[in-house]
Chains A and B, each alone.
Chain A
Amino acid sequence: MSTIHVPVTRNGFGRTSRPDAWWVVPLLTFLGLGAFVVYVTWAAFQGVHYRFGPYLSPLYSPEIFGDPRTAWFGGKPDWFPSFLPFTPALLVLWAPGGFRFSCYYYRGAYYKAFWADPPSCAVGEPRKSYCGEASFPLILQNIHRYFLVVALIFLPILWHDVWEGFWFDTGFGVRAGSLILLVNTILLTGYSLGCHTLRHQIGGILDQLSRRPIRKQGYRMASCFNRSHMLWAWTSLFSVAFSDLYVRLCSMGIWTDWRIF
């Protein structure tokens, strides 16, 4: 590309002139994402206590196969391989999991926190070789747009769960669990609608957006959510885990679902 040779002085892993605690953010990211992955994996393999009253844990939604009384298509299907573990969550979690794993924000965050590539800005790295997202395996991150489509299909299902969460045996009511599921779905919606890929597909792809007024409004909306994408990403991550924990502990009789009215 350029004929000018630029010699590079490698720093060595963790070497930097920065006197600040640069390691705090990647460490918190590592702990936050690590704790989420561990909890969700554990919860997904439980297969019990994912419903309490009208509430359905977002990790188990939609319940395609599972409890014959509540699942869309009944119990565990006969065709499901017997050697594989079965829970309703394992059938659906690949979609939101893949959406988050290939998300532009999370990519940048976990490349730093889990792979030290780089550990933080202007801090030395442990490896000499680097391929970025230009070749296998990270080139597969480009699949993000397909996960986006599935994630957008999940959103109305989650909103339906929220609606269901306000209807009890005694009729309409508001309890703590109803609000927790509501807040969780608001955060998931904000996270999904701020996706960089959605923003691109709605209008970013066009150079003359003004000729498409509806897409222009969509682009503005996506840009508005996108400006706080990191915030939506983290808050929705924790709200998903907390919603599952809430439903689980209520179902186990450890927590009481407080009635508001």
Chain B
Amino acid sequence: MSTQVTFRIWRGEKGAGQLRDYTTEISSGMVVLDAVHRIQATQANDLACRWNCKAGKCGSCSAEVNGKPRLMCMTRMSDLPADKPITIEPLRAFPHLRDLVTDVSWNYDVKKKIRKYQPRKPDNPDGTWSMEQDDIDRVQEFRKCIECYLCQDVCHVLREHGLHPDFIGPRFLVYSAALEMHPADTADRLPDLKNDLGIGYCNITKCCTKVCPESIAITDNAIIPLKERVVDRYYDPIKRIFRAITGSGGD
């Protein structure tokens, strides 16, 4: 069965533009990206839209569907109200290029600033490391990230306050957590997280967790544990005294 649905799509370049209405036919099983492609094919050949895998794994088709950051390829039409126009806008936290396409290269720049993985000396004579599965399981969750940047887009520190120069955003706090909690890693990222990467700006409103298409518990498993490590190091006077006396990490 098919129905006619109206889409209100942002058209324009470099921030300037407007929402334009397109009505197209929707059939069962379609996702928002299918509808955008149909509009592109039949009504707006010049509509710019980034996409690739159509399977929720490349993170290219991120947009704001009815005001919420989502992957267009994973948003089923059956989950949206068909009786009202469906709004599709580009990500708001990054510079707009054209129509639904934004420039997310700020994220690539930020990633370079995070200290790289620095393994301890190999555990075995053949130059390999031994790790328990339990220890790896914790960081494995973070490796599900597809870098769609929906979490960056919804984070109000970036989206509303534009603190891009001071705050790396949830995606890169997850990346930092994956490295910092890795059982074989020896690099110390806590001074960077406190001073340059801006972990203190996160006020744990969990919007990043809610929009993650990979269901990574960003706030509970990555950001808060990192915040706690920073508190251990810098804001806990008893631990500081303990470290000064014993010379240990205080754990």
Q: Which residues of A contact B (CB under 8 A)?
A: 1-4, 6-11, 16-20, 104, 107-108, 111-112, 117-118, 121-122, 124-125, 128-135, 138-139, 142, 145, 196-197, 200-201, 204-210, 216, 226-227, 229
Which chain A positions have C-beta within 8 A of B163?
Answer: 130
Q: Is B134 a contact of A216 with CB atoms below 8 Å?
A: yes
Q: Which residues of B contact A (CB under 8 A)?
A: 15, 64, 66-69, 81, 84, 87, 89, 92-95, 105-106, 109-110, 113, 132, 134-135, 138, 154, 156-166, 168, 180-183, 185, 196-198, 200-207, 210-211, 219-220, 224-225, 228-229, 231-232, 235-236, 251
Which chain B positions have C-beta within 8 A of A205?
Answer: 228-229, 232, 251
Contacts known (A1-B165, A18-B68); A121 close to B205, Cβ less than 8 A: yes
CA distance A16 to B67 in the complex (A): 6
Contact among A117, A128, A197 with B156 in the assembled complex (CB-CB below 8 Å) = A117
Q: Is A1 a contact of B206 with CB atoms below 8 Å?
A: no
Using A196-B225, A207-B182 as known contacts, list a sample of 7 further A-B pairs with CB atoms less than 8 Å apart, ordered by residue number in A.
A9-B15, A108-B204, A118-B156, A129-B161, A196-B224, A206-B251, A210-B132
Contacts known (A17-B66, A142-B231, A196-B220); A130 close to B166, Cβ less than 8 A: no
Contacts known (A122-B207, A124-B160); A7 close to B93, Cβ less than 8 A: no
Contact among A7, A18, A209 with B134 in the assembled complex (CB-CB below 8 Å) = A209
Which chain A positions have C-beta within 8 A of B206?
Answer: 108
Contacts known (A125-B156, A204-B225, A205-B251); A2 close to B113, Cβ less than 8 A: yes
Q: Is B220 a contact of A226 with CB atoms below 8 Å?
A: yes
User: For B113, B180, B198, B251, which residue has the most chain A Cβ atoms within 10 angstroms?
Assistant: B251
B206 to A, closest residue via Cβ = A108
Q: Is B159 a contact of A8 with CB atoms below 8 Å?
A: yes
Q: Is A19 a contact of B67 with CB atoms below 8 Å?
A: yes
Which chain A positions have C-beta within 8 A of B200?
Answer: 132-135, 139
B116 to A: closest C-beta gap in Å? 16
CA distance A117 to B154 in the complex (A): 13
B251 to A, closest residue via Cβ = A205
A133 to B: closest C-beta gap in Å? 5
CA distance A259 to B213 in the complex (A): 51
B88 to A, closest residue via Cβ = A17
CA distance A134 to B196 in the complex (A): 11
B173 to A: closest C-beta gap in Å? 13
Contact among A2, A121, A130 with B157 in the assembled complex (CB-CB below 8 Å) = A130
Q: Is A108 a contact of B205 with CB atoms below 8 Å?
A: yes
User: For B135, B157, B166, B204, which residue has the most chain A Cβ atoms within 10 angstroms?
Assistant: B204
Which chain B positions have C-beta within 8 A of A138?
Answer: 203
